[in-house]
Amino acid sequence: MNEFKSKNRVIALKGILVLAVMGWVSGCALRSGVPPVTGERATVATEIVLLHDNDLHFDFNHRDAFESAIAEIRGSYDNVFLLNAGDIFVRHATRWPVNDLDFYAERTRFMIETMNDVGYDVMTLGNHELDIKGTITRDSLRLANFPILAANLEVNTDDFDRPDPYTVLETTDGHTIAVLGLTGGDIGRTDTLRITDRHQAFEKYRYLADEHDVFVVLSHIGYHADIALAWKYDEIDVIIGGHSHTLVDAPGLINNTLVTQAGGHSHALNPDRPKMLGIVHLRVEDGVLIDKSGRVIQIEPGAAALSAEVCMKRLDKVVVWVNNHLVQNDVPFEMELMIDGETVGINSGTATADEPSAVTFGLQASLTATHSIEVTVRYEKPDDLPNWQQNMDFRALTIRKNFAIDQIQKIQRLDIPFEIDGDMAQWRHISPLMIGDLSDVHPASARDSRQPDEFLDAAIYTAWDADAFYLAVAVSDNQHFNEQNGSSLWDGDSLQFAVASRGTKAATFNLGLALASGKVQSHQWRGPETGVFEKSDYTVLRKDENQTTVYQIRIPFECLKINPAPGTLLGFNAVVFDDDDGKGQEYWIQLSPGIAGGWRPDDFHRFVLMDRVHDIP
């Protein structure tokens, strides 16, 4: 028996470990053993691929292409597992083509039998599988050749089988992957089936993290609930989700947990709808999970092979992210950047099949106004594509956007220190940054779901003196709820912000404030120095009479690793989370991307410490 450490835990591995070194030649994987160098211990490496989908809702579109893609991946890696995060059925009879239980029986059997044929390894129950129709739902699910999970489901009927709480997948060299299932959503009835508290269920089975090399949660609780789970529990390696139909095409790490979801279908059958496939890559070396990444590809004849996004607003830099939607072929490309109709740069690069590729254009002059930005990506069709990808679109890709490139934001210097008391009168001479427009609301799906009487906007004020950085955020919000604490403060009305110093000793801090459970609370998620709040002055003040919440903090520069002087540059970002019913945050507004939904400090706005620009009366 060999012992290895993984995510600060010790785990026991049984079996013989085989050295698997993966190489790529012409887009194909090579498997070869590498003899150890005399006197040195050989590295034991294992590549694991988790394929996943969710919320199919009676649709299994583009099956031939889907199976070809999976076969291609299985032919390239030794350890490939296919997971589904629930809602393969449609529980609402009004959304069936015909309101007939015969249709329901036929379609539920079709979905399970198709999943058997494709070779799914595990599934978590969604709420659409829990609105049972006599014994039909049970009988169809019994056809599955794979385990069906839900650790937080209570079954009180003979018309439905109790699901397994978890299953264990095993690689060819003996590594084990624990998969815990969690379900959620409305199920209509509670007398026969009842969804129990998912956190209590997780606590019951969290020991799995200590007994297995990789710990995966296969959930049907929604993307925001997945993020909350990742913040609350450190030991989760990957969360593969469903229910909210969120397309996470470039998954980020939340508390070192990869959180992903592969979109989902509406409840109406549509044979032309694209099929999405999530791909998670894991690499284990000497029993330690050292790398994890994910992406989602679209499987549909005619779908574009590459997509791109201009996602950073900087005065002297434009960054374009290129996503490769092929399964394993890297694609060389040439990219041209035009600003206001004139070419300002041409770069080349390679869109890798593993993760988005960033292309950076440095500009000779800083942008200071509204500009028309056009990016053209030219590439050729690879020679060795599998048949199912031959009909994808390989034409040049063009993205056009009008960008209002903000100037570097000025942080005003104070002659007299501000009091941190919740009073905003002393800030009246400082110009705030305003957020709250519909385009500031995230995720984008929340923009259509806000009720007419809901509102949320924020004024963000920054200042500095020789000793400290000052921040005040005045939030207008008709409701305030937060019963969280610690790392879960964000799952309610709260402020989260980040400060990033620049240069060779750059440091980034991710901090949060909330009025939660009736008291002012704080939490530090990131930063090389702990105890920032112990050295800072801060307050949160709620005024229900005018429906505002004020957050104020004074942080010594020494805590932020910043040497203050006029002209000093730093990165800054702020996110205001909103909870309108006491059931957890539903959406957020943000100054820029990079905090919520994935940690990307390069997306932060740039700020500069200015010399004195006004006198405090």
Q: What percentage of the chain exceeds 90 in pLDDT?
A: 37
Report whether pLDDT(323) > 70: yes
Whether residue 482 contacts residue 490, with contact meaning beta carbons closer than 8 Å, is answered with no
Complete DSSP assignment for 237-303: -EEEE-SS--B-SS--EETTEEEEEB----SS--TTSPEEEEEEEEEEETTEEEEEEEEEEEE-TT-
**pLDDT grade for 62, boundaries at 50, 70 and 90:** confident
Helix (H) or strand (E) holding 615: none
pLDDT tier, 368 (very low <50, low <70, confident <90, very high otherwise)? low
**Mean pLDDT throughout 500-528?**
84
pLDDT tens readout for residues 186-201: 775 567 888 999 999 9
pLDDT at 602 over 80: no
Please determine, for residue 80, whether its predicted confidence score (pLDDT) is greater than 70: yes
Pairing of strands 508-516, 494-501: antiparallel
Angle between helices 101-118 and 63-74 (to 10 degrees): 30
Q: Count of CB atoms within 10 A of residue 552's CB?
A: 24
| Other Cβ atoms closer than 10 A to 514 | 27
In angstroms, the CA 581 to CA 505 distance is 43
- The pLDDT tens digits for 389-439 are 777 778 888 888 776 555 568 898 998 899 999 999 889 888 888 888 877
Q: Between 417 and 8, whose confidence is greater?
A: 417
**Tokens, residue 472:** 């005040």
Q: Which pTM does this prediction carry? A: 0.58
* Banded pLDDT at 449 (limits 50, 70, 90): low
Q: Looking at mean pLDDT, say which of 241-245, 366-370, 373-377, 470-474 comes out highest.
A: 470-474
Outline where DSSP puts E strands in 380-480.
Answer: 397-404, 409-413, 433-435, 441-442, 456-464, 468-477
* R_g of the chain computed on alpha carbons: 26
Task: Give the chain's mean pLDDT.
Answer: 82
| pLDDT greater at residue 576 or residue 315 | 576
Provide the token pair at 478: 């008709």
Residues 94-111 have a mean pLDDT of 81
pLDDT digits (tens, 9 = 90+) for 209-231: 999 999 999 999 988 889 889 98
Cβ neighbourhood burial of 476 (10 Å; 0-12, 13-18, 19+): middle
Which string of DSSP letters, residue by residue, matches 461-521? Answer: EEEE-SSEEEEEEEEEES-------GGGTTSSSEEEEEEEE-STT--EEEEEEEEETTEEE
Beta partners for 63? none
Each residue of 257-304: pLDDT tens digit? 999 999 887 655 666 677 889 999 999 998 889 999 998 888 876 677
* pLDDT range class, residue 100, cuts 50, 70, 90: confident
Residue predicted with more confidence, 17 or 542: 542
Confidence of residue 179 (pLDDT cuts 50, 70, 90): very high
C-alpha distances (whole Å) from 18 to each of 31, 43, 282, 284 are: 11, 10, 16, 12
Higher-confidence residue of 245 and 30: namely 245
Report residue 38's pLDDT band, with 50, 70 and 90 as the boundaries.
very low
Which of the pair, 281 or 29, is modelled with greater confidence? 281
* Of residues 46, 21, 49, the one with CA closest to residue 35: 21
For residue 502, pLDDT beyond 80: no
| Per-residue confidence band for 4, with pLDDT thresholds at 50, 70 and 90 | very low
* pLDDT surpasses 50 at 50: yes
> CA of 444: how far to CAs of 130, 448, 450, in Å?
28, 8, 11
Q: What average pLDDT does range 539-558 have in this prediction? A: 92
